[in-house]
């Protein structure tokens, strides 16, 4: 969920959040809306120059503190490390190493013996997603592996 959809109270309710990069835990002292943006005051970041270093970073809820994903949905970072298996032939195509959001469907970056694949994370292709088993069964469109 985008932070823009959260209220300042929801953000400050967490004792700590994580900033990626650089991958460190921080405490949010306060949060408020300014036009269409959420502004955060992070403990220990006391100047605009210090805050500028964090521009473009992601603010994440630590895995152990986040609520369960709604029914039928997943947290995208839970897909990292999942094995991609061809649903029809059972061939293992690789492992999800990252995901990318470019404005269309999320693309799963998969590395395997055949090289790198970018697989759209859509129900028509990712037929069965089981994050507990770390497995995604896919039905790839003709030619996708050749791109």
Domain identity same for 86 and 141: yes
Domain identity same for 61 and 82: no
Domain contains 71: no
Among candidates 82, 77, 88, 79, which has minimal Cα distance to 145? 88
Which pLDDT score, from 0 to 100, does residue 26 have?
92
CB atoms within 10 A of CB 90: 8
CB atoms within 10 A of CB 36: 6
The average pLDDT across 118-131 equals 96
Domain contains 88: yes
Domain identity same for 111 and 58: no
Tally of structural domains, the chain? 2
Quick check: 11 pLDDT over 80? Answer: yes
128: CATH: 2.30.30.240
Show the domain range for 102: 76-146
């Amino acid at each position: 969920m985008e932070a823009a959809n959260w209220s300042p109270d929801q953000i400050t309710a967490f004792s700590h959040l994580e900033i990626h990069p650089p991958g460190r835990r921080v405490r949010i002292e306060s949060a408020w809306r300014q036009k269409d943006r959420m502004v955060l005051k992070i403990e220990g970041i006391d100047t605009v120059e210090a805050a500028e270093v964090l521009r473009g970073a992601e603010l994440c809820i630590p895995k152990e503190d986040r609520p369960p994903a709604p029914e039928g949905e997943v947290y995208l970072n839970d897909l990292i490390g999942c094995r991609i298996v061809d649903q029809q032939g059972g061939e293992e195509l690789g492992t999800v190493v990252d995901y990318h959001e470019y404005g269309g469907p999320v693309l799963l970056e998969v590395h395997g013996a055949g090289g790198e694949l970018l697989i759209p994370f859509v129900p028509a292709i990712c037929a069965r997603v089981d994050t507990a088993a770390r497995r995604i069964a896919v039905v790839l469109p003709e030619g996708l592996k050749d791109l």
